[in-house]
Amino acid sequence: MISNASIKSLLQEVEIFKGIPAELIDAFSNRLESSFYRAGTELIHKGDEGNSMFVIAEGIVKIHDGEHVIAKMAAGNFFGEFSLLDEAPRSMSVSAEGDIRVIKISRELFFELLQSQPEVAKKIISGLTRRLRNQNESIIRQLKSREEELTRLVDERTRELKLRNEEISIKNREITDNVNYAKRIQTAILPDTNAIQKAFNESFILYLPKDIVSGDFYAFFPKQDSAIIIAADCTGHGVTGAFLSVVGNSLLTQIINEKKVSDPGKILDQLNEAVIDTLNQRQGESTDGMDISICSLNFKTKKLKFSGANRPLWIIRNNELSSYTANKFPVGGMQILHEENFQSHEIQMEKGDTFYIFSDGYADQFGGESGKKFMTKKLKEVLLSIQKLSMKEQQVFLLDAFNKWRGDQEQVDDVLVIGVKI
C-alpha cells in the first residue's frame, strides 16, 4: 500500500492536477488507495466498458492494440481518462509491463470534483485538451511507423489499401472518442431542468445540438428571491464549440456564485474580460467568443433585468411583441478593443407576460418549399400565434414546426430557445 501522503505527492505531479489547491488535493487523495498488479495483467481490455482512470505510482504500462504496442507510460502518468467521460467501448488495451502499482480514480469521484470546483474543472479540462492534442500527434507518428512497416511486408498496391483502411479506422475511432468525451463534460455542466422548472413554473428549453455536442449552452443560477437564466451561442459547433461552452459555463459560475455579481450587464463585462484572459486573446491568435443573453428576474417585484451580446430579448404582452436590443459585439472573440460596457435593461413585467431568449440556430435553418432560411420575422409570427398554449405545448409546437420546415435539409447550426411565462 502507498500512504495518503505519497498519493497526495503523486497527484500533485500529475499533469491535469497541477496547480490545484493543496487542501483540495489533500481531501481528494484521502479518498483514494493504491492497487498492485503483476506483470502481464491487463487493466483495460479493448472493447470493454470502463469506469475508472488510473495514475501510475510504480512501474510501466503499455497501451496496445493486440500485439501492436502504441505507447508505454511510466510512473507519474495516467490512462483511462475517457472511461470517466463516456460509456463507449475502450479503443485500446492497457497491460502491466512489469509489476506495477496504480491509483484508481472512479467516474463518480471525478465528476464530484468537476461539479463542485469550477476553477479546478477549468484546469483539468485544459490539461485533458492538451493531452488529446498530444495523443493525436502520437497517432500520426504511429501511422507513419506502420506505413514503413507495411512497405516491408506487401507490394505497393496492397500496402496503400491497407494503410488507408487502417488510417480511416483509427481516425474514426479517435474522433468518436473525442466527441463522446466532449459530450460527457458538456452534459455534466448543463443545469438540471427540474430546478429550472421549480423556479419558473411555466417555462421550456428547446435544445437541439447540430452534432453530438453543441456550441450552444444554457445556464441557470437560483437566488433567494430571484433567478438568473442564460442562453449562449459559442463560436462554431461540435467539439470546438462544446469546449468553449464548458469554459464559458465555468467562468459564469465563478462570476455569479463566487464573486456574487448579479447585474446582467456587469456579468457580461466580467465574462468578456475572463474569456479574453482565459484564451490569451490579447497575445494569441484566438478569435473564439460567444453571443449571449442574460436575464435576471425578481420573483417578488417581477422586475426583469436583461443584457445581451448580439442576442436580443423578446417580450410578448397582450399579443404584442417588444424587442430589447443587445450590444452589437460579442463576449471575447475579435472585438477585444471595444470600450463600451454591456448595457442592462430593466423591465417591469406583468402577470401573463412571456419572455424569450435564444441563439440564431432556429431562424437560420434552411427549409420550406424554396429551401430558404426560416428568418427572425417568421419566428416572431410563430411565437405570437402560440401564446394561448402552455409553455410545454409551445415547446412541442416549436420543435414540430422546426422539423417540418427543415424536412430533408441538414440542420445547419445548434438550436436553443428558452421561454418563460410570468
| Closest by CA position to 294, among listed 254, 339, 332, 327 | 327
Per-residue model confidence (pLDDT) at position 287: 79
For residues 59 and 103, the answer to whether their CB atoms sit within 8 Å is no
Helix, strand or coil, per DSSP, at residue 263: coil
Q: Which of the given ranges, 19-23, 98-102, 123-127, has the highest pLDDT on average?
A: 98-102
Domain count of the fold of the chain: 3
Indicate whether 142 and 93 sit together in one domain: no
Confidence of residue 155 (pLDDT cuts 50, 70, 90): low
The answer to which of 179-193, 254-268, 393-407 has the lowest mean pLDDT is: 179-193
Of the residues 152, 184, 216, the one at which a domain ends: 184
Indicate whether 50 and 164 sit together in one domain: no
Indicate whether 197 and 320 sit together in one domain: yes
Indicate whether 87 and 154 sit together in one domain: no
The answer, yes or no, to whether residue 336 has pLDDT greater than 60, is no
Indicate whether 315 and 223 sit together in one domain: yes
Percent over 70 (pLDDT), the chain: 81
Domain residues for the domain of 198 are: 191-421
For residues 293 and 231, the answer to whether their CB atoms sit within 8 Å is yes
CB environment 141-161: b (16+ within 10 A), e (fewer): ebeeebeeebeeeeeeeebee
Show the beta-strand stretches assigned E in 117-263.
202-208, 216-222, 226-234
Collect all residues with Cβ–Cβ distance below 8 Å to 413 and sequence separation of at least 6: 210, 237, 359, 360, 361, 364, 365
251: phi then psi, degrees, rounded to nearest 5: -65, -40
Q: Whole-angstrom Cα distance, residue 379 to residue 382? A: 5
Averaged pLDDT of the chain? 85
Indicate whether 322 and 270 sit together in one domain: yes
Cell representation of residue 356: 424569450
The answer, yes or no, to whether residue 19 has pLDDT greater than 80, is no
Indicate whether 205 and 281 sit together in one domain: yes
The answer, yes or no, to whether residue 393 has pLDDT greater than 80, is yes
pTM (two decimals): 0.64
Indicate whether 243 and 313 sit together in one domain: yes
Indicate whether 166 and 195 sit together in one domain: no
Indicate whether 17 and 74 sit together in one domain: yes
For residues 289 and 338, the answer to whether their CB atoms sit within 8 Å is no
The answer, yes or no, to whether residue 133 has pLDDT greater than 80, is no
Indicate whether 78 and 163 sit together in one domain: no
Tell me the CATH number at 288. Answer: 3.60.40.10
Tell me the CATH number at 67. Answer: 2.60.120.10
Q: Whole-angstrom Cα distance, residue 218 to residue 193? A: 10
Q: Whole-angstrom Cα distance, residue 201 to residue 198? A: 6
Indicate whether 44 and 151 sit together in one domain: no
Of the residues 163, 184, 205, the one at which a domain ends: 184
Show the beta-strand stretches assigned E in 173-251.
202-208, 216-222, 226-234
Could you identify the residue written with the cell 465563478?
A: 254
Of the residues 184, 208, 231, the one at which a domain ends: 184
Per-residue model confidence (pLDDT) at position 334: 61
